[in-house]
Amino acid sequence: MKAPSVLLINPWIADFAAYDLWAKPLGLLYVGKFLRSYGYEFQLIDLTDRLRWNNSDPATKLSGRGKYHKTIIPKPEAVTHVPRRFGLYGATREQFLSALQNIDPPKAILLTSHMSYWYPGVAETVKILRESFPAAKIILGGIYASLFPEHARKIVQPDHLITGYGEKQTLMLLDTIHEIERDYSAIPEFDDTGILPWDLYTKINAVAIMSSRGCPLHCDYCATPYLNPRFLQRAPEDVISEIVCLYEQFGIRQFAFYDDALFINKKRHIIPILKGLLKHGVNAKFHTPNGLFAREIDPELAALMKRAGFQTIRISLESIIPKWQKASTDKVSTDHFELALNNLENAGYKRSDIEAYLIMGLPGQRYSDIEKSIRYVADLGAVSRLASYSPIPHTAHWNRAKALGSVWDDMDPLLTNNTLYPCATDDFPVEKFLELRQLSNDLNMSVRKQPLKEDN
């Protein structure tokens, strides 16, 4: 019997700004890998695949990061007051339609979702899929579907919506659609081992790697513990063989670790991984767009990072104010941060190569809290990268933002967009956030003698 073929879709991003930091739809690819091991075949349309659509800024293609093509669309009603242009990022509508014309009508389509406030991109993608394949069952999963399931059911109207771990749930759903019977008793919820189905991409020059799932910490603003309640690290040998295979067989030279907690249990995890990659002669660039834990960067790890080719190093500092450090599970202190900078410098990095994430816009956070943190980072010769807070349901800070009236239960997820500074108040208005951005840019310029490459 011919293997049933399923269409995997990574939808458009809909936002005021978006920038590609080696992003790949890892959740969707993990589901694809899992289903493949149970006999399914796939076609993939990744609407944000800049190499495939060949319509993004050519100068930024090779590094694996860069600007997406933007198609301006009318602003959704909830954000008409925002004085910026709204758009769909990735393929043009014509490119999407032409890609759909070249595939056989599938019985089922798996669609992922990312930031909740990108949902207009998901809804627009589904509208086109419905017109092209009216008989196909559309299954929606991913972050938005898990965080705002009722909203997604109402607005996107998938045939099926999956929350939480998608692998086994999707297998059971697809089997029902394809009238396949099997015994599920020994089938796990998910399986993170092995190599993802990168062969579904026709061109690829950078890859995102997850060496673990979830995070053992519980920061007040983060939904990872809700979305991924189990913290599981893959075996180092498994991660090494995935990277070596991508390096040797696919020619990949740019890797981004998308782990939430890459350096936890370092002696059993990242250190053997990096030693193994060096042993295999992997000569590539590694990037860490998610923040690293400063307290784990000791002289041994710093030296290994340098030898292995870590290039983009972002450390989660979040704030130098103890109250906000507590909200970040005390994952970093200023002592940790300064020690990590010294160790990285001794390993051969320039301090101005190191970026410190600072969170801004938390409910109740003051202008001076953020300003002090920005100045502290610059005084140490490092670079500050401001991460604007976006309120997320199922987190402690959501409840705080709710008590302050900044969010409410049935709010439009568009209003959680960090571009809008959702927790701005009369005392700390949006203009003051922009002033802080300017301060960070100015100090970074004096540290680096050149502008920091923007993420958006």
Q: Identify the DSSP state of 449.
A: S
Rg, Å, the chain Cα set? 22
- Closest CB to ligand SF4 among residues 221, 376: 221
Q: Which residues pair with 137 in a beta bridge?
A: 108
How far is residue 335's CA from residue 350's CA, in Å, rounded to a whole number? Answer: 19
User: Among candidates 342, 335, 250, which has minimal Cα distance to 295?
Assistant: 335
Options 145-153, 181-189, 217-225, 270-278: segment touching ligand SF4 (CB under 6 A)? 217-225
For residue 247, give the amino acid letter.
Y
- Judged by beta carbon, residue 92 or residue 265, the one nearer ligand SF4 is 265
Only one of the segments 25-33, 79-87, 216-224, 301-309 lies at the binding site for ligand SF4 (rule: CB under 6 A); that segment is 216-224
Binding of residue 110 to ligand SF4 (CB under 6 A): no
- Select the residue interacting with ligand SF4 from 20, 46, 260, 412 (CB under 6 A): 260
Residue 264 as a binder of ligand SF4 (CB under 6 A): the answer is no
Q: Is-contact 384 358, C-beta < 8 A?
A: yes
- The footprint of ligand SF4 on residues 324-353 (CB under 6 A) is 329, 331
Q: Are 90 and 79 in contact (CB under 8 A)?
A: no
> Which CB atom, from 241 or from 329, has the smaller least distance to ligand SF4?
329
CB 12 within 8 A of CB 48: yes
Which residue number, 224 or 418, has a Cβ lying nearer to ligand SF4?
A: 224
Q: Which stretch binds ligand SF4 (CB under 6 A): 114-122, 210-218, 385-393, 440-448?
A: 210-218
Number of residues in contact with ligand SF4, rule: CB under 6 A? 11
What is the token pair recorded at 419? 């571009």
Residue 111: burial class (beta carbons within 10 Å; 0-12, 13-18, 19+): buried
The single residue among 218, 267, 279, 326 that binds ligand SF4, judged by CB under 6 A, is 218
CB of 331 to ligand SF4, least distance (A): 5
Q: Which SS3 state, helix, strand or coil, does residue 180 take?
A: coil
> Of the candidates 28, 79, 204, 215, which one interacts with ligand SF4 according to CB under 6 A?
215
Where does this chain touch ligand SF4 (CB under 6 A) — which range of 30-38, 104-112, 213-221, 375-383? 213-221
Catalogue the long-range contacts made by 232-240 (C-beta closer than 8 Å, 24 or more residues apart). Answer: 232/192, 233/264, 233/265, 233/268, 233/269, 234/192, 234/193, 234/210, 235/193, 236/268, 236/269, 236/272, 236/273, 236/276, 237/276, 238/193, 238/194, 239/209, 239/211, 239/273, 240/273, 240/276, 240/277, 240/280
Please select the residue that binds ligand SF4; options are 224, 233, 312, 319, rule is CB under 6 A: 224
Q: Is 288 in the site for ligand SF4 (CB under 6 A)?
A: no
Closer CB to ligand SF4, residue 24 or residue 331?
331
Residue 261 is a binding residue for ligand SF4 (CB under 6 A): yes
72: left (phi over 0), alpha (psi -120 to 50) or beta: beta
222 contacts ligand SF4 (rule: CB under 6 A): yes
Among 138, 207, 208, 219, which residue sits at the site for ligand SF4 (rule: CB under 6 A)? 219
Q: Compute the least distance from the CB of residue 214 to ligand SF4, in Å.
A: 8
Which of residues 226 and 250 has its CB atom nearest to ligand SF4 in the complex?
226
In this complex, which beta carbon is closest to ligand SF4, that of residue 219 or of residue 420?
219
- Tell me the sheet residues that pair with 21: 65
> Which DSSP helix (H) or strand (E) runs through 166?
none
Cα 6 to Cα 32, 105, 107, 261, 446: the distances in Å are: 9, 9, 7, 32, 52
Task: Select 61 or 331, whichever has its Cβ closest to ligand SF4.
Answer: 331
Q: Under the criterion CB under 6 A, does residue 147 sit at the interface with ligand SF4? A: no
Q: How near is the Cβ of 225 to ligand SF4 at its closest, in Å?
A: 6
Among 8, 17, 217, 436, binds ligand SF4 (CB under 6 A): 217
Give the footprint of ligand SF4 on this chain (CB under 6 A).
215, 217-219, 222, 224-225, 260-261, 329, 331
